[in-house]
Structure 1
């Protein structure tokens, strides 16, 4: 990237976003070692992942709104501080309670960082520069998750699972110093904080995510009821935490559903594929993370070309093409004979998936903040990231309650992606 053109804000936001996404997926290749090290039960181990997801997804709307009202810099620094402290305490944890509580705290820090990074980009850049910056941001969304698998496996195999979390600390401290020095403070905006809406949004999202993750349908149903109450309150509140006008733009609405469906397919892929490779091919944690490297490299190469490609073919066509290619890659995994080994069965579909993912994330991110005013950039970013967080648990819970056969799991992912193609065709069509 050309720092003379973008300055320091883009590197700061991309590194921060990369760290929180990496920590979202790092758990998949290091979970076995964490469980053995801390003598965790299967339930406690599942909470190491769920605690982070619950607070990350549950607090996103509140965090996005606070960044709009209280100023980006102040909220961003709070998020980075929470993330650094919790990462250190996770890496130092000696028991299940500390590990789970600090993962929950880390999720709150991530929920602040995620929408604020995109809002900072919206504030700092305009026109073509903004389009390019969002393209890099979208590329980071895909690469961060894939690299998390690799970093988690590598550090676990070579050093310890603790290194995967402790490595966050020096990078986050650097980000704090850079933010203090280079990001300008913006004045707080007038407006009341919707406390009832904040409580309802957190409880509803936590109920939905927890109910799906743990297959506790009464909690999921309660979450849905609270979500309905939340939307009803927001329609009548003078200063809503979630302005429903966001959903009146069909491109933004389509982008939110597309992001949801994308993660309904991708998180289960990151969950099931390493398990299959470790059980069938005897891969170590590091090797199963390394197996995702073709996807990551292709994703990165494609994402770098996106500003030029999008300018030529428009955001909608690139996004639709990406969804079609992603569906083809997932179908290839569903049809493949896994007994033929990694290079024939997994490597080739990985290349296709990398192309599809590289074409999707930047356009769907741009569509999620399409024509959002400066006053709503934070909450629009929050909704985009919220869909990213709740999509994975929804997809994973649907699959694990219906099948435990690898090829059938892959067909579910194909189905989610085909629905995404339809949504893009109907709603995101410019």
Structure 2
């Protein structure tokens, strides 16, 4: 299946990489790396109780192991898409892969939660360098007419990775130890590096300028917003310090949680205004959003990213703390999701090129919302575990019908000259959804635990006894019911996010090929 790339002149044809005519080996090679970094988004979740015990830390600090990765993953996405266009998609992808693989080893060797968080930041930066290149390569290797099956594979990879992460994490945590959820990346990363070098073609480069002010504004805005949301409960949503200290300098400036959140929102608003006023080459070309389907698909994928992250934490804590499951057993509870997603991936790839992908995405989000609402109602200590498996069938169905159709919808009329920017924006919105969802679920879990256990213990400060907050020790049987109720409450957050996804999917327009891809090539 040849891929039209650059065939304008004899000179261009002579320089054309013959591997462009064999796009599928290249796609499988880059998808392996993409799968690895997405697995790392969710693999930590199942290890939280064991890691909390081994590292002797609290739940809020440990959840930064996930949030720091997601935040570092999200911040560079907008700029790294342009880096690929300028310095070569393949070269930039491989640099990101090396950083990701080396930092995975660092994570495994970290001796305390602080060092682990730092290592996860570096790992997230590597992932942020890699991810936009995968979508850009697909856009460059496959025409819109050929892109359906390729995007189906890309989408299935994203969906299955979010399900395999907890399963693999459970097996490794119960076996050699939680350090192996990071060590396993090393041989996979090396194999991916060899496959990419062999199979991925060279792509033509495109000159770009870089909007460094945009990078700084988006990074500051996201960090302030995420820190404020995730740490809100820690500081009772009030003042953090009476005087902000920068190194040895005392500024005398008080810092509060609401202040951080407001400052983050203001920074992001200034970022958008700057993107509109930047006449050179903005980090986010707002012209991308003139395509209604790109805009709606970006909103929908943000909801999907947030849903996947927020469902995993309350489910894992419920299975391990209330039902007393091991990490592997807890992870196996999600097996129906993985099986359904894997079985449906090939037919969904065929269907979404023949039928309107809007109805697939709509049905997928509806299935997600229904399955998660059902699961939240079943989260009690008395529910048989077999019954708890059934909602995950609906969740798996939703996964299968969301990722691929949304990706195809977003990229259908994306010209190759905007492939880097477009893939960066699309992946950025997914990661923003993930990181804000992670921060929100961390706050909600802590809040509902304090409230429900406070009610059960007569309101004694709403403080959870040892073992109740996330996993050190055994949860007293008397607290099983309130703990389950807290996790059930928290599960309503992903239900709401999936419902917003339903509304977004309703706004997807009928697919029309405008021919912009062929003209821009």
CA pair 337-35 structure 1, distance change in 2 beyond 3 A? closer
Q: 1:57 and 1:211, CA in 2 relative to 1: closer, same or farther beyond 3 A? A: farther
1:407 is matched with which residue: 472, 481, 488?
Answer: 488
Q: Does 1:302 align with 2:344?
A: yes
Match of 1:282 in 2: 324
**Where does residue 29 of structure 1 map in the other structure?**
46
Encode CA deviations 1:154-183: one digit per residue, 9 max, x unaligned.
101011111111111111112222222332
Residue 340 in 1 paired to residue 421 in 2?
no
- The answer to whether the 8 A contact 1:29-1:149 is kept is yes
> Which residues in structure 2 correspond to 1:212-223 (within 5 Å)?
212-215=229-232, 216-223=257-264
Whole-Å separation in 1 of the counterparts to 2:130 and 2:109: 23
The corresponding residue for 2:299 is: 257
- Kept in 1, the 8 Å contact 2:358–2:508? The answer is no
CA distance in 2, matches of 1:323, 1:49: 24
1:231-380 superposed matches below 5 A: 231-237=272-278, 238-336=280-378, 338=380, 339-344=382-387, 346-380=388-422
* 2:227 aligned counterpart, secondary structure: helix
Separation (CA, whole Å) in 2 of partners of 1:188 and 1:419: 38
Cα distance in structure 2, aligned partners of 1:323 and 1:102: 34
Deviation at 1:131, TM superposition (A): 0.9
Counterpart Cα distance in 2 of 1:199 and 1:42: 30
- Are the aligned partners of 1:255 and 1:428 in contact in 2 as well (CA < 8 Å)? no
Larger radius of gyration: 2
Name 1:385's counterpart in structure 2: 427
**Would you say the 8 A contact 1:70–1:188 is kept in 2?**
yes
**Over aligned residue pairs, what C-alpha RMSD do you find?**
2.1
- Alpha-carbon contact 1:281-1:341 (below 8 Å) kept: no
Answer whether contact 2:361 2:505 (CA < 8 A) is retained.
yes
How many residue pairs get aligned? The number is: 427
CA positional deviation for 1:50? 2.0
Give the unaligned 5+ runs of structure 2.
1-18, 233-256, 450-485, 512-521
Partner residue in 1 for 2:141: 124
Name the SS for the 1:7 alignment partner: helix
Contact 1:56 1:110 in 2 (8 A): yes
Q: Tell whether the 8 Å contact from 1:61 to 1:201 is kept in structure 2 after alignment.
A: no
SS in 2 for 1:371: coil
Q: Which residue of 1 aligns with 2:500?
A: 419
- Equivalent pair of 2:29/2:200 in contact (CA under 8 Å): no
Sort the Cα spacing of 1:340 and 1:20 in 2 relative to 1 into closer, same or farther, 3 A. same
Name the structure with the higher helix share: 1
The answer (yes or no) to whether the contact 1:68–1:376 under 8 Å persists in 2 is: no
Q: Mind listing any 5+ residue stretches in structure 1 that lack a counterpart? A: none
Q: 1:236 to 1:185 in 2, by over 3 A?
A: same
Q: Helix, strand or coil for the counterpart of 1:240?
A: coil
**1:228 alignment partner in structure 2:** 269
Find the aligned partners of 2:71 and 2:436 in 1 and give their Cα distance: 12
Whole-Å separation in 1 of the counterparts to 2:302 and 2:66: 19
Q: Deviations over 1:54-101 (max 9, x none)?
A: 101111111122222222012101100100110111112223333121
